[in-house]
Amino acid sequence: MTKVQKGKLIIFSAPSGSGKTTIVHWLMKQIPELAFSVSATSRKIRQGETDGKDYHFLSVKDFKQRIRQNAFVEWEEVYENQFYGTLISEVERLRNEGRHVVFDVDVKGGMNIKRLYGNDALAIFVQPPSIEELEKRLRSRNTDSDESIRKRVKKADYELQYAKNFDVVIINDNLEEAEQKTLKVVTEFLGRDPVIHKR
Residues that bind ligand 5GP (CB under 6 A): 16, 39, 43, 74, 76, 78, 84-86, 104-106, 109
21 sits near ligand ADP (criterion: CB under 6 A): yes
Q: Residue 125 or residue 189: which is nearer to ligand 5GP going by CB? A: 125
Cβ distance to ligand 5GP smaller for residue 112 or 186:
112
Indicate which of ligand 5GP, ligand ADP, none lies near residue 90 (CB less than 5 to 8 Å, by partner kind). none
Work out whether strand 168-171 and strand 34-36 pair parallel, antiparallel, or are unpaired.
Answer: unpaired
- Strands, DSSP E only, in the chain? 9-13, 34-36, 40-41, 56-57, 72-79, 82-87, 100-104, 121-127, 168-171
172 close to 178: Cβ distance less than 8 angstroms: yes
Q: Within 13 Å, how many C-alpha atoms sit on residue 30's CB side?
A: 22
Residue 7 contact partner, candidates ligand 5GP, ligand ADP, none, CB within 5 to 8 A by sort of partner: none
42 binds, among ligand ADP, ligand 5GP, none (CB under 5 to 8 A by kind): none
